[in-house]
Every structure is written in C-alpha cells, then in structure tokens.
Amino acid sequence: MGSLFAELARQASANARREVEAYAREIAEFGFLDTNSRARGETLEHALWLRRRTVELSPDNAELSDDDLGHIAAIGESRAAAGMSLDARQRVLRLHTSLMLREINEATEAQRGAGVGAGVGELMRMMHWFAPQGERGIRAYSQGFAAALRHRLPYVEQVALLARSLLKGDPIAAELASALGMELPERCAVAVIRVPDRPAGDRDLESEIEALVKTHRAPVTWWPGRGGRSGELIAVIPASSSAETVQPRSVPDPVSDLVRDFAQALGRPCAAGTATASLADVADALDLARRISRAAPLRPASARLRPYTMSDVFVELAVADAPSVDAWLQAVGRRLRPGPDLLVTLDAYYRHDMHRGATAAALNVHPRTLDYRLRRVRELTGIDPGSTRGVRILSAVVTRRLSEAWR
C-alpha cells in the first residue's frame, strides 16, 4: 500500500472521531450525540467503517460492492427513521465530503512533512476513485433515506418533501420521486398561488391539498406566511420545452387546471403566478413565479382564477422596484376614490379589451352607465381610459390596487 493510503489508514480512527464531533457541534439535530453514548458509538462505527473501506478499495480503484452500498443505504434509512430532516441530511453529506477531502489533503501534507512525499500518482488514484464512488455512496444513502420516509410519512407529506427538495435543488428529489412513482421532467412550470388571508386554524386546507395531490399527481407544498394567516401553495408541474417560448403568455393546461381547482376549493381571494425553467433552474422559476403572484390582482373565489405570467405583469414588476413611480401611481389611484365603483369598472374595461358591450355585460350595467363612469375617471384623473396613455397608466393602477400592494 502506498504512503498516502497508509497515512489515511493510520489516521482513520482519529478522523472518524473528528467527524462525529463535527456532527454534534455543527448540526443541531445531532446534538443528542453528546448525551446518547450508544448513538455516538454507532455513528463512530459508521464513520470508521467508511474510511477503512476507502483505504481498502481506492488503491486498486475497486468499486463499492453491493453489500457496501446496502450498508450505506441502511445508515440513511436508520437516520430517516429516527426523524432526521432533509436539511440535516444534506448538511451531513456536505460535511462528510468536506472532511474526507480535508483528510486526504492532510495525509498528503503529513507525508511531505515526514520527507516521504505522497506521489502525484497516488493522489490522482485516490481522487479518481473518490468522485464516482462518493456519488454512488450518496445515491445509496439517499435511497435508504427515501425508503424510510415512504414508511414513516403520509403520502401527502412525502409529496411536499419532494416539492421542497426540487425547489432547493436537493439531489434526493430523484429518490423521493422514484419512491412516489413520479417522473421528474427536464422542464417544469412552477406555480405559486398566493393566499393573503385565511382563518387561523383552518384545517380544511390539508384536505384540499391532499385532494389536489391525488388528482393532479404533482409535487405540491404549502408554505405558510408570517403569523399563519397567509401563505403560498407551490406546485412543480411538467412543462413542454416550448412553454413560454413560442407564446410568452401561454400556460400549460395542467398548471391552469391545478390553479383553478385549488382556488375553487379554497373559497377565498387569491392570486397566482407561474414561470417555467429547466429542472436545474427551478429555484429561479420559483423566485419569478412568487414575484408574479405578488404583482397579480387578487380574484374572488367566484372568479375563474388563472395563473399570470411575466408578460401579464411586467409593468407592475418593474413598478414594484421603482418606489417613486409606485408612489406616483398610488396618487393617481387615490383620485378615483370619489367615483362610483371606478376601480371595478376599469378592471372590467381592460380585462375585456375596452369592448363597451362586453364590459357593460360583465358589470351588469347599461352601456350608458359605463360611459358615465369612464367620463368620471377622465374628470378625476385628467386621463382618458381609452387612450394609449390611459391604458398604460390606469391598467397599472388597477393591478397594483387589486394586488393589495397598496395597503
């Protein structure tokens, strides 16, 4: 055995102890290792075993055996069964990988300091082995972890974990999806349904989400807002590669269907935004969909809620980042207060492409009543609602007001 591998073998016990101490010190969920000697002993045994197998296999570039991978999977399964969270699991994997790389570097330096000198060939052999076998080990650990979750958690909670792991870019998403019988698409749409207010302690939400999951078979999770009276339903839905490319305003039917079904089941005003991206960029899509949902107008439960895209609210997104412009629009909006239902009238007017007959029918008023209200808008603001300037300014005023951005 070469000098580098011999040094790693010599330091295996000390390095394993250091890893256990790092877990207890840096990961809150491993704090029990300071008081539970049995658990500490088992964790130390796992850490030592893995280091010994590394030293045994890496000199000849031998792969981890099926028994090795089964052992690693069992470790992941036992930790998930004990209640370890996905975040803690990810931190464990990162910390373990970081420590192993540090140990290789320290062993190389120790040999150099002793005048032995670890050859470049040994170091290259070790790294050539470490990368692919480390990946196989992480996959086995994740498979065991996901298997335990399948037995420990209700189906809907497993789906929520899958959604959150996708949104965070956690590699365990592939194992969770496999356990749930779901396929991960190359490209997906992220839909965010914003619910600004719901009664505290509303337990119906859980059953509504469960029904959504079973009907649409898509990763869905609820992210509560501050105080528990608001929140977001977030869904990750397969999308074709042409979504929002050929037609920027197009929304995949599964997205529209899920948004509509949830809004109807919830029975309260909400707003929805959606953005598409490759699976690798899903976190960016979430950020954009969330911003769109916050810029989109709230619609009552009786309305057919549709998910807005960036092209629907790009003006409002820009205004939200320009406080002086937003304040000016808000001042324009305040001028509409003396008029009768002017905000509702303008909303219907622009949603029906300024068609008088369709707008009047939607408002259930006579066309002459509509004309009077539009004249009143012009009198109060000095802006003609039907002019190019009017559309640009007043449509933004309506959307900002209905989104409740100006509370």
Per the domain annotation, does 95 fall within a domain? yes
Position 170 in a domain: no
Residues 113, 326: Cα–Cα separation, whole Å: 65
Q: Quote the pLDDT of residue 117.
A: 54
Q: What is the pLDDT of residue 169?
A: 87
Name, in order, each residue with C-beta under 8 angstroms of 376's C-beta and a sequence gap of 6 or more. Answer: 339, 340, 342
pLDDT of residue 227: 64
> Are 229 and 267 found together in one domain?
yes
Predicted local distance difference test score (pLDDT) of residue 189: 93
Indicate if 310 and 329 belong to the same structural domain.
no
CB contact at 8 A, 301 and 262 = no
User: Residue 398's pLDDT is what?
Assistant: 96
309: which strand partners?
none
- Considering the domain architecture, whether residues 342 and 303 belong to the same structural domain is answered as no
Q: Any idea of the CA torsion for 310, 314, 319, 320, to the nearest 10 degrees?
A: 0
Picking from 152, 176, 210, the residue at the C-terminal end of a domain is 152
- Note the pLDDT of residue 242: 54
Identify the pLDDT of residue 109.
Answer: 84
CA separation for the pair 74, 79 (Å, rounded): 9
Domain span at residue 348? 322-402
Q: How many domains does the chain have?
A: 3
Regions of the chain with pLDDT less than 70: 1-2, 113-119, 198-204, 227-229, 241-250
Tell me, yes or no, whether 146 and 8 share the same domain.
yes
- Where a domain ends, among 133, 152, 171? 152
Q: What CATH code is carried by the domain that includes residue 13? A: 1.10.490
CA distance 87 to 102: 22
Tabulate helix, strand, coil % of the chain (nearest 5): 65, 10, 25
The DSSP bridge pattern shows strands 231-238 and 187-195 to be antiparallel
Instruction: Quote the pLDDT of residue 395.
Output: 96
**Cα dist. 85→88, 162, 185, 209, 210 in Å?**
5, 13, 25, 22, 21
Q: Is residue 113 part of a domain?
A: yes
- Indicate which CATH number applies to the domain containing 382: 1.10.10.2840
Q: Phi, psi at residue 64, to the nearest 5°? A: -60, 135
Provide the pLDDT for residue 133.
Answer: 94
Q: Is 404 left (phi over 0), alpha (psi -120 to 50) or beta?
A: left
Q: Give the separation between CA 127 and CA 107, rounded to whole angstroms.
A: 13
Q: Please indicate, yes or no, if residue 180 is contained in any of the structural domains.
A: no
- Do 90 and 40 lie in a common domain? yes
Position of tokens 């869905």?
A: 220
pLDDT at 283: 92
pTM, entire model? 0.81
Question: Is the distance from CB of 314 to CB of 297 less than 8 angstroms?
Answer: no
Asked if residue 192 and residue 99 are part of one domain, the reply reads no
Q: Which of 264, 280, 314 is the last residue of a domain?
A: 314
Residues 6+ apart with CB under 8 A from 126: 4, 5, 58, 104
Would you list the DSSP string of 314-365?
Answer: HHHHHHHT-HHHHHHHHHHHHTTTTSSSHHHHHHHHHHTTT-HHHHHHHHTS
332, 393 in Cβ contact below 8 A?
yes
Q: How many CB atoms sit inside 10 A of residue 195's CB? A: 24
Tokens, residue 195: 């619910």
Backbone torsion region of residue 169, taken as left when φ is above 0, otherwise alpha when ψ lies between -120 and 50, otherwise beta: left
246-285 burial: b if 16+ Cβ within 10 Å, else e: eeeebbbebbbebbebbbeebeebbbbbbbbbebeebeeb
Query: What local confidence, expressed as pLDDT, does residue 247 receive?
Result: 44
